[in-house]
Structure 1
Amino acid sequence: MYSTDRRERTQIQQLTSFVKAWSQIDPATAPFLGTWTAWEETKSIYPSSVKGRVCIIDGFIPNENNIGFRFGQGTVSNGRIKTDSYILIHQGNYLGGVFVYNNEPGIYEYAWPKPLKNPAELMRRVPQSDRHRNHILEQFQNAGCTASRPNRR
């Protein structure tokens, strides 16, 4: 994993402001929010309208069977995100994806979160698979996910 922060100052400020706003609504999920980068993958972690839940769009290298994006949800508990297939742990500017594959434990490292993009913008580079992209966008919307700041009431 690269150890140098390559984010622009405006990206850091934008994400910090977004996380701070969401920490007023759901302090458990707020530290995880953002688009986290690894060597060949990203995890875009979005807030949900359900307290303690996050929405995750995994980005990875596409192949003939997929467009390189997958939607999922996770539940935050005890400072971790638990999904159906992995657990995410967070410390500072690092995120670890803990998993078991072929009966072997592993951890995949992500770092330096950037501001979230609207999912449609995030997946705009995959026009050849509108049906799959639209399905992810529908799942995102149905789960009460957002890329926006919380509404002030």
Structure 2
Amino acid sequence: MKMRSLLIIGSSLVMLMANHSSVLAQIRQPTNAELRRLRQEFQQVIKSAINNSVSASYIQDRRTQNEKNNRKSFVNAWSKVEPKLAPFMGVWSGYESSKHIYPSNIRGRVCVIWTSDGSGGMDTGVFSNGFIKTSRGEVLFKEGNYLGSALLKNGKFIRNYDIPFNSPRPLGSLTKLLEYMYDAQAEKITVSQQFQAAGCTTSTTINR
């Protein structure tokens, strides 16, 4: 009976990740013109945040030197096999929300876990034309130590942040991350299953 349950769970996870791959293939990505608009808008938001005394406090870099060094070492290790995706890896903080971008042992893939107000979820993502495209139609793009986000809604890419995600920290364990999802027990279980199925990892030892 136990073996049968494990087989059912394993089959479900395989089907889940197959569906994610299928969804990724079907999602429309930004045109070059749309991407330019998103980046220009993002640059303006960053400038406005820096020049505003209230929002500037949210994007202040409070990382310790040890956190900076650890995250840099992690990115450098993964850059050997994922040079385009590695710069996105880390914990990006925004206003009462965060994005945790993990590497995967499956080539060309990252795992993006988002948390906000005690809830959260996970998407898989791939690199495309300078940005990450996720399985829920989100695009993520970088400007230095800032991360921008946009979602496809009604055929148009709309900014999906108030304060730019910024100052990436080292990734923590999934167990620690799930503590932030204190209002979403079912979502925690789903994220845990998806994390395993997608080959997500916090290790600098690359199993390929």
Length-normalised TM-score, structure 2: 0.64
Alignment size in residue pairs: 148
> What SS is found at the alignment partner of 2:70?
helix
CA displacement 1:88-139 (0-9 Å, x = unmatched): 0012101100224576732522100000011111113556754432221111
Q: Which runs of 5+ in 1 are unaligned?
A: 63-67
1:82 aligns with 2:133: yes
Root mean square deviation, CA, Å: 2.2
Q: 1:100 to 1:15 in 2, by over 3 A?
A: same
Return the alpha-carbon distance in structure 1 between the equivalents of residues 158 and 188 of structure 2. Answer: 31
Q: Which runs of 5+ in 2 are unaligned?
A: 1-54
Q: Is the 8 A contact 2:105 2:207 kept in 1?
A: no
The amino acid of 1:151's aligned partner reads I
1:29 aligns with 2:85: yes
Give the alignment of 1:113-152 within 5 angstroms. Answer: 113-126=168-181, 130-151=185-206
Larger radius of gyration: 2
**Aligned counterpart for 1:45 among listed residues 101, 105, 111:** 101
1:72 aligned residue: 123
Q: Is the 8 A contact 1:28 1:77 kept in 2?
A: no
CA drift at 1:151: 3.4
The amino acid of 2:148's aligned partner reads G
CA displacement 1:10-36 (0-9 Å, x = unmatched): 100000000000001111110000000
The amino acid of 1:86's aligned partner reads E
The amino acid of 1:106's aligned partner reads R
What stretches of structure 1 move > 4 A for 4+ residues in a row? 100-104, 125-131
CA drift at 1:140: 0.2
Q: Is the 8 A contact 1:25 1:150 kept in 2?
A: no
Return the alpha-carbon distance in structure 1 between the equivalents of residues 116 and 158 of structure 2. Answer: 21
Q: 1:23 to 1:70 in 2, by over 3 A?
A: same
2:38 aligned residue: none
Q: Percent identity?
A: 37
2:158 aligned residue: 105
CA drift at 1:45: 0.1
2:116 aligned residue: 60
Q: 1:125 to 1:58 in 2, by over 3 A?
A: closer
Deviates more, 1:6-15 or 1:97-106: 97-106
CA drift at 1:78: 2.0
More helix as a share of residues: 2
CA drift at 1:85: 2.4
> What SS is found at the alignment partner of 1:72?
strand
**Aligned counterpart for 2:144 among listed residues 92, 111, 114:** 92
The amino acid of 2:133's aligned partner reads K
> What SS is found at the alignment partner of 2:62?
coil
Deviates more, 1:28-37 or 1:132-141: 132-141
Length-normalised TM-score, structure 1: 0.86
> What SS is found at the alignment partner of 1:139?
helix
